[in-house]
Amino acid sequence: MSLADSPLLTDLYQLNMMAAYRAHGMLDTAVFELFVRKLPPSRGFLMAAGLEQVVQFLEDLRFTPDDLDILRRIGGFPDTFIDDLADFRFTGDVDALPEGTVYFPDEPVIRVVAPLPQAQLVETRIINLIHFQSVVASKAARMVLAAPGKQLIDFGLRRAHGAEAGMLAARASYLAGFAGSATTLAGALYGVPVFGTMAHSFIQAHDDETQAFEHFARARPAQVVLLIDTYDTEQGARRVVTLAPRLARDGIEVKGVRLDSGDLAAHARAVRRILDDGGLRSVRILASGGLDETSLAELTRDGAPIDGYGIGTSLTTSSDAPALDCAYKLQEYAGLPRRKKSEGKATWPGRKQVWRRRGPDGRFAGDTVATLDDTAPGAPLLVPVMRAGRRLDGLPTLEAARRHAAAQLAALPPALARLEAAPYPVTIAESLRRLADSCDRRTASMPGPLQ
């Protein structure tokens, strides 16, 4: 059983609520929207990602006979409910921000319009998919901004939170502008370029560092990037200089060296000098080891002669902000707007659109969140993605989404493109405030406990 495909990869309460909706004939159209309540302190913007996986999930969603057996064992569900699930299909409509779009709190990222039990069941996995890829794409975008022109590679599968996290992090970081990933399967599954060098264990398994370099180069002659910090970084660089002519005689080119410890800027300068003095000007220097956007920005400011970076844990766990305060909330049911009023967690009701204005320089100048039947200055951001349970033709490929993401980052106002970002203006339209008021007047008339 593949975990990711099972409709039981959901909170039990979704199934409880589905059973109750069906028991009471509550099968009307529901509108849910996913949005972020507020930014983590260390983020100035977020980047939408994960939509492709949501579409695939919704298209493929089925209860297998095994799934139905499990539900029978859990107990308490009416047989008719379980029998009906055998024919379950998602038949709804989806609108969303295209992947790679920069977004802000209160802006719907995805809107699901479907019969209430369907729209309810899919809540958990939709959040699970959009949340994590948004987390990683947003983190990766900061790194891309912090190291302009550098090759960034995802090295973080090992400390990602499980298999799917590693895979989706490779995808989301590529979307946001990374050059590729070390994760082999991400190449096969998503077409993400895959990069691989060597580990310290390879050096350690040899009795002689130079011999280790030579063994690697002869076995993988097309991608010779040598890890030189296992014992002494500058000594490692000198060994590369000694070895390179011998390899060159056999047509093998040393493409790069990798530093993974110590003061990376200082080592990079020393290594660059050793390589240049040894006639290896074309050998690139890659660095890795506990990097994040802050250290990338420092290395950039410092002018460290480093051509590319491998980024692991801080990327794939988004270690400073591993989660977003996001929610998928019922905004309309049976034609009536709905609103949750819990303390500190009130939501804006109804179907919404986000309009984005641009300044004369083409950069983002401000957003307006309005009801769907309203308009606002600028261009609308949510676009149709699925109709009647089927994906629309012409959804962007990962490469197209990556180009869109690059254009979005290029259009950030300068104050947002800094690591310490300034706030961005998001206005709630008058149309939406009026809808919320009318919604509140209706629930205020709800029967009290004594009626």
The answer to whether residue 438 forms part of the interface with its own copies (CB under 8 A) is no
CB 92 within 8 A of CB 114: yes
Site for its own copies in 287-316 (CB under 8 A): 313
Stretch that binds its own copies, among 97-105, 198-206, 362-370, 372-380 (CB under 8 A): 198-206
Does the footprint of its own copies cover residue 392 (CB under 8 A)? no
Number of residues that bind its own copies (CB under 8 A): 124
Q: Could you say whether residue 251 binds its own copies (CB under 8 A)?
A: no
Q: Which is nearer to its own copies, 120 or 353 (CB)?
A: 120
* Shortest Å distance, C-beta 8 to its own copies: 4
Asked whether position 35 contacts its own copies by CB under 8 A, the answer is no
Does residue number 218 form part of the binding site for its own copies (CB under 8 A)?
yes
205: contact with its own copies by CB under 8 A: yes
Asked if 333 is part of the footprint of its own copies (rule: CB under 8 A), the reply reads: yes
Regarding 194 and contact with its own copies (CB under 8 A), the answer is: yes
**Nearest alpha carbon to residue 411 among 362, 446, 371, 367:** 362
Which span (5-13, 279-287, 294-302, 361-369) binds its own copies, by CB under 8 A? 5-13
Task: Please state the φ and ψ torsions of residue 95, each to the nearest 5 degrees.
Answer: -120, 150
The dihedral through the CA atoms of 134, 140, 144, 150 has a sign that is negative
Token representation of residue 65: 């006979």
**Site stretch for its own copies (CB under 8 A), options 83-91, 381-389, 406-414, 442-450:** 442-450
187 or 396: whose CB is closer to its own copies? 187
Closer to its own copies at the Cβ: 262 or 377?
262
Q: Please, which residue, 16 or 383, has the CB nearer to its own copies?
A: 16
* C-beta pairs of 321-324 under 8 Å, 24+ apart in sequence: 321/40, 321/41, 321/42, 321/43, 321/135, 321/139, 322/135, 323/131, 323/135, 324/36, 324/40, 324/46, 324/131, 324/134, 324/135
- Residue 20 interacts with its own copies (CB under 8 A): yes or no: yes
Near its own copies by CB under 8 A, which window of 74-82, 298-306, 359-367, 418-426?
Answer: 74-82
Q: Which residues, including other chains, have CB under 8 Å from residue 408's CB and lie 6 or more apart? A: 47, 100, 101, 102
Dist. CA 199–CA 187, nearest whole Å: 20
**Rounded Cα gap, residues 42 and 294, in angstroms:** 11
Assess 38 for contact with its own copies (CB under 8 A): no
Q: Does 3 bind its own copies (CB under 8 A)?
A: yes
State how far the alpha carbon of 37 is from the alpha carbons of 47, 130, 158, 378, 434, in Å: 15, 15, 31, 23, 20
CB-CB neighbours of 146 under 10 Å: 24
Q: Which residue has the tokens 């010779």?
A: 224
Q: Which of 33, 95, 99, 123: binder of its own copies (CB under 8 A)?
A: 123
Residue 157 is a binding residue for its own copies (CB under 8 A): yes
